[in-house]
A and B are shown apart, each in its own frame.
Chain A
């Protein structure tokens, strides 16, 4: 890699030629050892939990409780089978047959929340990116300010309202509640993508007789398609992550996987193997999706504040 902008020599192998040049081989040796140790530490810290949970999810109850913990065992898919079918060959208490339902709930709620946010967010972001009008900054600020409110301040009144309106324990109710997470995010992200489209292109289209709708449909949307895709994927991931809103506003029939996964604790015993399998299943869509949006994750997490 040739040194470019930002490729400065901090902690690199570019050793300053000076009177200490005789110490260089020794220095290099120490440096290499340090780099190796740091690499191994970082790898173990990051990757080992995934490896261990994967191993745990493939163990039988006996292997899970073995002292000391074992790395060699006969792998079994019983825990995953238990998630789907609800029984584990009579080895110990039969459990949740409803995990597939939780997975489906997560899909429905996350897709619904993102679809609603994008449908409402595209025109809103277009207005905020391309028009000037009174209260524009105020509206943008109110949208952004939702990022500051602790969820409990929303969930207490929502819980009371939903009981009254019959929205408690419904997909619709959850999709609306999730707008607190996805809508401000979607509007700010789309706005930042729309603003990247050069004004000249839009002006050219207007000279050709495009109305505001034509500009949106023929210029803004096609040119920001990758940005919209990124916003959809990240919004989906944030919805999938949500735990606290459904914990209070959902019930047995509408729990998403995040709430479903903690159900393995509240029994007389913790079903470690099944819990491990459930965490793998709950995290998998995220890990796959994240590969697609790696470059945009920072932007997503800071709502477009950092690119």
Chain B
């Protein structure tokens, strides 16, 4: 307590913070309980349609996953998609941030407009692009691409097309987030290192490489962290466009866990996949947070 509790009321005052937290903690418990229940189910053979087969199977669900070709493919896709999406989004986002930081005409308007995609619910973003990516000749995207000599793309019908489509849609929705945070970082950078570099005769590229990027690194790691966490778990966009298809080409762990539990009603296996995904998110986040601490220390 910052305030010295009055004598005689010390006992009551010690409870005060918990009293204040109580409503939130009750709600929190309402979330922890289902999660704990789900964790328990991941060790059982819970299959909604066969309630009498329910039993505790220890690690069978987890061990079984490794022999599941569908799971291995989904794991590969989850990791591969995250890597590509994050590299593209952070790379492009950095370029956009640098561009919008420079003194260009109409900068304020551009900055405001650039934000718009971030405000659209992700599933709505997916539907917007689904309309534009119609693979018939009426699709506007294919029509525009025809001007640069690209043949009509079968956006959601082919494996590669589907993966590229999901990448494009996810990038459109999240580029503003990356650009916004990095732009904020750029605006907070001190002036002195640039003046020193200028005196030394450094050109724009040298300054970017040796002054801007190192100073910006805590912000870059931060967007890496947020984008990685969300890319590992992308669901809305895939569900609304490809539903994991075609041929499971865009099935990531979240989609697979959804299919196991809500299409095949194998709750135990679905939960085990959800827990594996959670562990993956925690592991990657932990590594990135350690990187963030190091980046923050070196620039402090």
Contact (A11, B98) CB under 8 Å given A53-B128, A53-B131, A237-B119: yes
Chain B min CB distance to A114 (Å): 13
Residues of B within 8 A of A64 (CB): 138
By secondary structure, the B interface counts as: helix
Q: Which residues of B from 77 to 103 have beta carbons under 8 Å from A?
A: 96, 98-99, 101-103
Q: How far is it, in angstroms, between the C-alpha of A212 and the C-alpha of B18 when the chains are bound?
A: 13
Enumerate chain B residues within 8 angstroms of A302, measured Cβ to Cβ. 181, 222, 226
- Cα A160 to Cα B130 in complex, Å, equals 32
The reply on A10 being an interface residue by CB < 8 A is: yes
Check A21 for interface membership: any CB of B closer than 8 A.
Answer: no
Q: Is A72 an interface residue (CB 8 A)?
A: no
Q: Cβ of B189: which chain A residues have Cβ within 8 Å of it? A: 6, 8
* Interface residues on chain A, size class: 35 or more
With a cutoff of 8 Å between Cβ atoms, the chain A residues found around residue B38 in the complex are 153-154, 156-157
Contact of B101 among A10, A42, A240 (CB under 8 A): A10
Indicate whether A258 reaches chain B with its CB closer than 8 angstroms. Answer: yes
Whether the pair A157, B37 counts as a contact (CB closer than 8 A) is yes
Q: Which A residues lie within 8 Å of B25 (CB)?
A: 124, 139
B201 to chain A, nearest CB (A): 8
Contacts A53-B128, A66-B138 given; indicate if A124 touches B274 (C-beta within 8 A): no
Complex interface: stretch among B57-65, B67-75, B256-264: B256-264
Asked if B298 lies at the interface with its beta carbon under 8 angstroms from chain A, I say: no
* Complex Cα–Cα for A13 and B27 (A): 55
B1-55 residues at the A interface, CB under 8 angstroms: 1-3, 14, 16-28, 30-32, 34-35, 37-38, 41, 48
Known contacts: A69-B138, A241-B122. The answer to whether A248 contacts B34 by CB under 8 A is no
B interface residues, tally (CB under 8 Å): 109
A202 to chain B, nearest CB (A): 8
Residue of B nearest to A262 (CB): B240
The chain B residue sitting closest to A6, CB to CB, is B187
- Answer yes or no: A73 CB below 8 A from chain B CBs: no
Binding site for B on A (CB under 8 A): 1, 3, 5-13, 16, 18, 35, 38-39, 42-43, 45-47, 49-50, 52-53, 56, 64-69, 116, 119-121, 123-124, 126-128, 130-133, 136, 139, 142-143, 146-154, 156-161, 176, 179-180, 183, 187, 199, 202-203, 206, 212, 237, 240-244, 247-248, 258-259, 261-262, 265, 272, 275-276, 278-279, 282-283, 286-287, 289-290, 294, 297-298, 301-302, 305-306
- 6 A-B pairs besides A43-B113, A139-B25, A306-B219 with CB distance below 8 A are A123-B19, A142-B32, A152-B261, A156-B274, A160-B37, A243-B122
Q: Name 18 interchain pairs, CB-CB below 8 A, sorted by A.
A: A13-B103, A16-B198, A35-B102, A42-B114, A49-B128, A120-B23, A127-B20, A133-B17, A148-B281, A148-B285, A154-B35, A156-B271, A157-B41, A243-B239, A244-B239, A248-B262, A283-B120, A290-B115
